[in-house]
Amino acid sequence: MVEAELLSTLQSISYIAGATGVCIAAFYYVQILRNAEREKRRQTLLMRMPAMSKEYMDSYWYLRTLKDWKTRQEFIQKHASNPEVLSKLHYVMNIYNILGMLYIEGLMKIEDIAQLYPPASIIGMFERFWFYVPINRKSSLGEDADPKFWFPLESLYKDLKGRFPGIEGTTSSVVEQRERERLREINIFSKIQPP
């Protein structure tokens, strides 16, 4: 009788161990599927993004050297009907938006993004063309169409700006940067009172 109880106890333990193994295997399989899906999404987004391709560099430098406007209105008056400028702007901003999507979804770290694309480039382009983001969130009737359009780009910009607070962007010319530095120095020295 003791042997029968012992055998039934061992058989129960065997069933419990087998069931536990099946549960662990199922959990492991689900984790593998989730990771594979995340990696597939990451690879799909990365394939759409030409890291430092000739087309990206041409578009980026064209926009960076476009200096014939100072305000939003001037840009719209001079370039809103120019398909070359708008296509280059959308191209560059969409690349940065894809980076933002990868960052928000946790598929890419901000440090990796900063290695692929200089933070000054992303920050500079966003600051220079920030007014274009809300325009694209509206319909042709001026109503809110997609309030989350380019939201990943906006989030990436804010986090890059927080991570690299000294960066003002690379969209201004060297002369403009030197002039800003000179004005800062004048401002600093003007606060010093003679003894």
Confidence of residue 195 (pLDDT cuts 50, 70, 90): very low
pLDDT value at residue 78: 86
Tokens of 60: 């980026």
- Tens of pLDDT along 84-115? 998 999 899 988 998 998 899 888 889 888 88
- Confidence at 160, pLDDT banded by 50, 70, 90: very high
Which sign, positive or negative, has the C-alpha torsion 105, 109, 112, 116? positive
Least confident range from 57-61, 80-84, 180-184: namely 180-184
CA 78-173-81 angle, to 5 degrees, is 15
CB atoms under 10 Å from CB of 154, counted, come to 17
pTM of the full predicted structure? 0.65
* C-alpha span between 68 and 75 (Å, rounded): 8
Give the model's pLDDT for residue 190.
45
What is the average pLDDT score of the chain?
A: 78
Beta bridge partners of 144: 138
The pLDDT tens digits of the residues spanning 180-194 come to 555 555 555 444 444
Mean pLDDT, residues 130-155: 80
Q: Is the pLDDT of residue 159 over 90?
A: yes
Q: Above 60 in pLDDT, residue 53?
A: yes
Question: For residues 106 and 1, which has the higher predicted lDDT (pLDDT)?
Answer: 106
